[in-house]
Chains A and B, each alone.
Chain A
Amino acid sequence: MTIFFSGGCKNGKSTLAESCACALAAGGPLCYLATMIPHDDEDRLRIRRHVAARAGKGFTTIECGREILTALDHAPADATFLLDSVTALLSNEMFRADGTVDEDAGPRTAEALRELAERAHNIVFVSDYIYGDGPLYDEYTELYRRSLALCDRTLAAACDAVAEVCIGQHILYKGALPL
């Protein structure tokens, strides 16, 4: 089964996604696809909080900040994945370490994610809803928003279940959650 979650920041997306991944795995192999490449202390603290929240839930962590399909080579065929988050993955693909911007990252990442959803036994995706304010951004931020929306729409179309998470609750747009 494939599930896609999005919603506002610190609204409980990861917690709900972890519960769904654990339910889907049903005791089988459970892999956390860690996408954030830390750049500062704030990132490192955020990662420590997520690691602590996952502790004891049975996840094997696979670090994969780019080229997400390569993660499949490091997990058993019957693994259940949790990818948290699409947002960080696209950011790494688009804004490169050498300071350049890859303007084609959106379509490429969307296609890789669609293939990942197709090939993974079970997978839960987490993204961020960043579209509900005025269009007052610079060119690259707007490109990033447009590209993330393409990834989101692609996954929402491909996944069996889609829900928006809001302050720990969720609104179901498609399918049903395994809870």
Chain B
Amino acid sequence: MRAFNNMSIGHKILWICIGTSGIALLLTGGALGINDWLNGKRTLIDHLTTQANIIGINSTAALVFNDPQSATLTLSALSADTDIIAAGIYRQDKLLFASYSRTSSKQGQISPKFKEESQHFKPNSLFVIQPIILDGEQIGVVYLRASLEELYAQLRGHSGIIALVLFISLLVAIVLSSKLQRLISGPIQRLTEAANAVSKDRHHALRVSKSNNGELNILTEAFNEMLVQIQERDHRLKANKAQLEALVLHRTKELCTLNQKLEDHTQQLEALVKERTAELHNLNQQLKHQAYHDTLTGLPNRALLNDRLSQAILHAKRRGKKLAVLFLDLDRFKYINDTLGHAVGDQLLSLVAVRLGQAVRKDDTVARLGGDEFTVLLNTITHMRDAREIARKMVKSLEQPFNCYGRELHITTSIGIAVFPKHGNNTEDLMRNADIAMYCAKTQGRNNYRVYAAAMHAQSRQRLEMENNLRQAIKREDFVVYYQPQCDIHSRKVIAVEALVRWRHPQLGLIYPETFIHILEDTGMIVPVGALVLKQACIQIKTWSDAGLAPIKISVNVSPRQFNQRKLVKNVQQIIKDNGIPSGCLTLEITESLLMENVEDTINTLHELNGLGVHLAIDDFGTGYSSLYYLKHFPIDSIKIDKSFIRDIATDPNDAAIVRAIIAMAHALGKRVIAEGVETSHQLAFLRQHRCDAVQGYLFSRPLPDTELATKLVKAC
């Protein structure tokens, strides 16, 4: 195949022509031969079939009447047919009945027993088998065999003729092909040479002479035309190239200017980035400071304190030194915040921070943990007394009045002290123990300091437990209200009752308020409990009224925390409205000390409450420092003398004098007087003698649950 591909077109044409005609002739010859053979064979078979039929028909009687001689005679007629070399008639039982042979050779032999043969051919002979039928019934078969010799001889003759024709055709094809080759490849050769010349020398002006061949002439013209076009294009390309070069030069210049501009921009941007980075750095510093400092006071916050404390502990451990943690809490700060507003509170905290900073050494740390809690870390103290000394200084310093927005504010502080290593050797323990000590200072009268002692821990734990229990109790509303009657001193009739809260502890049973009320006050839980009692009292008024009892007043204690709530008035109004009770049935009892703490605001609140129709009473009168001036202006209905005065009136002339004075003063101001804690008839006699208006105490009745009281209400005291 490769050899053929490498040939010149001329030779290729020659070979294709010869190949094509050769193959065509061979195919034709083959087809003729096969046709010849098939025809000859078919003719022979037809001939034999006819002969066999004739023989069959002519030998029926001989077969039927069992006359083989007659059959043999019939067969012998075949001697006229040179094709047939042997014949036989078989009976239905396949035995030979009559036979005929042209030769004595093997080909001429007839089998004595009939064999069913499907193949019509043997190498040199061909046979047919034809049944002999009489009246629709086969009675035997005729077997005829012919020699193929003659057919073969005829085929050989035909093959010779075909071969001769083939040979002559090939010769003619060769002659015609070589002529054709010269006719086509000549002009192509000229074109090839011209193309080579053009591509080698770039001699586009060259042209090829025309030939006398039609298609090739067109090809030559097209070639020449192509050369003309190439020449033109060559010219145009040169012109374009010059243009493009000029353009490139121009664009390069532009690019240079742009590049310059870009560099300038980059420099500007870099400067900007530097500036922004610096800003970012500053911001970062600020944030870091904020993260570790209290925004209000600028003091370190809890995080920074913890860090410094742990550092200081490590330091102290290495050197075998001591250090102290002071835990401060401003005693009345919440009150100031609630009543005077946050702005004042914040100002106060800042001032406190400044004073604390002044009270400590330079390497000590004052931190604000949030709210009104401050912590002071004293690095390296030699003695416990150093810490005490500084604590004392702080208490003194904060005792001095503060000036906030033109107000003079008095506050006190409670300080707890924990010392390393005695009260703990890690941050958590020291902080916790300082906190516990602070709590102790607070419970022991405030405005002082305490050094941590192990016993405090247990107390604090108890208190904490109590706090938790109380929180649970509030959630479950484990509080009940008892009522203690107040009786008219003359008629001894119940004229009012005081609502007193009891804690129904699931394990300990009923608990009196003395044990838990101060915790409620400290933690602010007094507010929900107070509200609960108030609500319960109002519901009770309604219940009794609905039960048909005579209208009765109920007194409810209001704690300072509750009172300072801005929404107190609103709450009271709402509760009265919700229960649909006459407001005159409700008396709110407020302690004397509360009234005097923030007189201006208190008077406003009292007036608003009075405006609702609610009665007001001063509780524990005599324990505080009442200004008679204010007392006159308060919209108060009654005054309750503290039981501490009543207890000894019969024996202590001072107390008797005070009670007498109070009664006289109250009456002078137009207020009713109620004595609390009346337990003996002597006390009662004294009070009656000095015209006290009403009495309350165990002499008449202890506080009772609502059901028991109901029965009492119908009777006299």
- Do A and B make up one complex? no
Taking Cβ atoms with an 8 Å cutoff, the residues of A that contact B are: none
